[in-house]
Amino acid sequence: MKSLLKFITCGSVDDGKSTLIGHMLYEAKLLFADQERALELDSRLGSRGGKIDYSLLLDGLLAEREQGITIDVAYRYFTTDHRSFIVADTPGHEEYTRNMAVGASFADLAVILVDATKGIITQTKRHTRICALMGIKHLVLAVNKMDLVGFDPEKFDEIKEEFSRITTEFRFESIQVIPVSATEGDNITKKSPNTPWYKGLALLPYLESVDVHTSDEAKPFMMPIQRVCRPDHTFRGFQGQIEAGSIAVGDELITLPSHEKAKVKRILVTDQDRNSAHAGQPVTIQLDREVDVSRGCVFTKDNKLQEADSFSATILWMDDSVLTPGRNYLVKVGTKVLPCTVTAINYKIDINTGNTVSADHVVKNELAKCEFSLSDGIVFDSFEKNKSIGGFILIDRVTNMTSACGVIDEALQTSDTAVRIDTEITRDVRAQQKGQQPLTIWLTGSVLDNSALAKEIEKRLVARGYHTMLIDNGSGESVQQIAAYAALLNDAGLVALVPFSSKNDNDQAIAQDIIGQALLPIEVAAHSSIEEAASDIVKRVVKALIQV
């Protein structure tokens, strides 16, 4: 079976990314006859005076052809005698950096193009840094348009040396620099006579031979749970893709975060029983006993993965809105999705120098180091070991759009041991920013479903313009932990809702001691419906918010 290489092309606008891949497919005879004919016909109306415009193979949108730029990510699948490929041609314009990051997230290797007449520019540095952030370990720097500088080896060496300097801070495993001409075909599929001073391989032969695969099977077993499958009362299976290691019938697994142990009773790949399975395979695993597992949990053989309810991370901000501390999002790590709050922006990273810059906000296409507090704990690993649970995305809770992508740097202290740090950004500053006073609504009693009631209350408060976060005690945290979560959210200027069924006076005393004057305990009285109860409680909450 041929190996598969997933790679992207990136670089600045008009550096020739689409032309490069189009010319490669054309010269390697990887097009169907009708595609080749259509390309020749379309090129008659192109910008090359009737010569073949290879970029038209990938720039399929009308707006792309009109402007001569790539806007969306274009994926192409092709196979040579030596290897199979998936290539993502990504946009070069800064406005579409988000699209470039999406393409980079799937790739094993990046081909970064630079214009030989311009050399290394800001967008080259930005794309290199994003490739490193997204875990790409192998780079090809294609120095394009060498024909416009007379195939000057000194110009090539100058660009090569500068690129070597800017990549020293990253841990790339391989970097190959190749002089090419995307329009004329030099060093695309075979060595060019115009560059006798270049001793390396042409681009396609290099891509066919470069080794980018580290064995995921050699790593410890790890599988995030995508779905619990229960077609009837006789079968309960856990479905997901094995991200690392291998598994066999009879192996003992640990379920995280519950830390229960069970043995593998059965493994199914599609609908076929297997004695074992390995990394990359989607499977259904049946255990020999019942365990507390749901979507977002993780199976492993050892207990070396980390767990935390707060972490620091490096992110690429991709939203048009401005990121500021105190804002709420959904965070997706592996298959787990949780509400989270941005508790701090440590600094931004200068795209040119890599230096850190102090900041209190982040705008589109900027890199930053931030801290996040989650409504519950997550299971994660270092990005180096496991991309699937070492990286994450932030999702806007209103639009459901992806606002940022990032990698987890380290766990912060969990809520029961965390120490608050005094900063110039105080609770009052955060509250003033949101136009409200912090409050914790502590629902007690069990007349109604308090979780459902809290959700209805939150929906009504958000409709009135309040900034909220709901903390559900679904994982059995102690009253101290729940109160610490709420206090942290109050420090972020938020209204926290806690559905806590216990009416124990001692529990409320503990919560009062941790949360302080922001605590508003409400014992849920008898109502005919959740809607009626929510309406009554929201009136009390709004009155309390006005009086605080």
Query: Annotated catalytic sites, by residue?
Result: 502
What's the rounded Cα separation, in Å, for the pair 418 and 308? 12
Q: Any idea what DSSP says for residue 224?
A: E
Dist. CA 337–CA 392, nearest whole Å: 10
Q: Number of H helices and number of E strands within the chain?
A: 13, 27
DSSP 230-259: EEETTEEEEEEE--BSEEETT-EEEEETTT
Q: Facing residues of 470 across strands?
A: 497
- Please tell me whether residue 314 adopts helix, strand or coil conformation: strand
Question: Counting beta carbons within 10 angstroms of the beta carbon of residue 120, is it exposed (0 to 12), middle (13 to 18) or buried (19 or more)?
Answer: buried
| Sign of the CA dihedral with 74 first, then 80, 85, and 87 last | negative
Euclidean distance between CA atoms 356 and 379, whole angstroms: 29
Count of CB atoms situated within 10 Å of the CB of 545: 18
182 close to 245: Cβ distance less than 8 angstroms = no
- Using alpha carbons, list the distances in angstroms from residue 431 to 342, 372, 490, 495, 531: 14, 18, 9, 10, 28
Type of residue numbered 420: R
Which amino acid is present at 537?
A: I
Q: Are 448 and 524 in contact (CB under 8 A)?
A: yes
| 138: number of Cβ within 10 Å | 20
Q: Distances in Å between the alpha carbon of 484 and those of 174, 191, 279, 472, 518? A: 46, 64, 39, 13, 12
